[in-house]
Amino acid sequence: MSREWNETQVTQEQHPNKSWCERLYDEKAVQLILYGRALGLSHSEAEDVLQETFIALLKLRETPEAPENYAFRSMRNRALNYRRSLWRRLAREFESARWFERDQDETPAERAAVRCLEKLPPEQREVIVLKIWSEYTFEEIAGLLELSPNTVAGRYRYGLEKLRACLKGKDYERLESSGITEVDAAASFA
């Protein structure tokens, strides 16, 4: 995703944080939109929340200590607030069938993986997206979500287990109730 900053609206005097924000946007905008999707937003909603997030970042008086983490946390908070609206919730339900935008070159295996990812509980889906696509560590995700690293690792492990079961055509609800909890994460995505 490429976006040009409108120089007539955003000047260095008005927004001293433009330089680091612009760099952060160029590097993380696509991941932040995917993260918004993992939080239950439609693609266009995720783009709107991303814009609101960066407008807020530009207004900061000082650069945050960890700008990337701050951006993800800000995106998360804004996405959760955005989702609370009844009308937006109804619109999201209609778009839930199109969680990721389809690519004409998408393989049947990719479509199956997206369908399985859509079925995961939001907490597990969120951790998987942050871990795999944003390449965050469990400790970084824990800090972002204000959880323990063990809780994050558990959500990741259970989510991968459910993805594996779904892709093999098994009912993961049944697996949960039977007490199957071990998963080899490396083998899941090898």
Q: Could you give the residue ranges of the DSSP H alpha helices within 3-148?
A: 18-38, 43-58, 67-83, 86-95, 108-119, 122-128, 138-145
Within 8 A by CB and 6+ apart from 4, the residues are none
Judgement on whether residues 109 and 89 belong to the same structural domain of the protein: no
Per residue in 131-155, pLDDT tens?
A: 988 889 999 999 999 999 999 999 9
Q: Which of 100, 125, 140 is the last residue of a domain?
A: 100
Which residues constitute the domain of residue 91?
13-100
- Are 126 and 95 within one domain? no
Same domain, 88 and 106: no
Among 67, 100, 133, identify where a domain stops: 100
The residue to which tokens 């109804």 are assigned: 90
For the cut 90, the answer to whether the pLDDT of residue 46 exceeds it is yes
Let me know whether 124 and 184 are in one domain.
yes
Q: Is the pLDDT higher at 111 or at 53?
A: 53
137 and 181 belong to one structural domain? yes
**Among candidate residues 100, 135, 161, the one where a domain is terminated:** 100
User: Which residue in this structure is represented by tokens 């080899």?
Assistant: 184
Is 149 contained in some domain? yes
**Separation between Cα atoms, residue 51 and residue 86, nearest integer Å:** 21
Instruction: Note whether residue 4 is domain-resident.
Output: no
Burial of 20 (C-beta count, 10 Å sphere; 0-12/13-18/19+): middle
Tokens 């979500």, residue located = 145
Q: What gap in Å lies between CA 147 and CA 145, rounded to an integer?
A: 5
At residue 83's C-alpha, the angle toward residues 116 and 70, to 5°, is 90
Residue 82 lies in a domain: yes
Mean pLDDT of 20-36: 93
Q: Model's pTM, two decimal places?
A: 0.56
**Distance set, CA 77 to CA 29, 81, 105, 106, 150 (Å):** 16, 6, 33, 31, 22
Do both 165 and 118 map to the same domain? yes
What confidence category does residue 169 fall into, taking pLDDT thresholds of 50, 70 and 90? confident
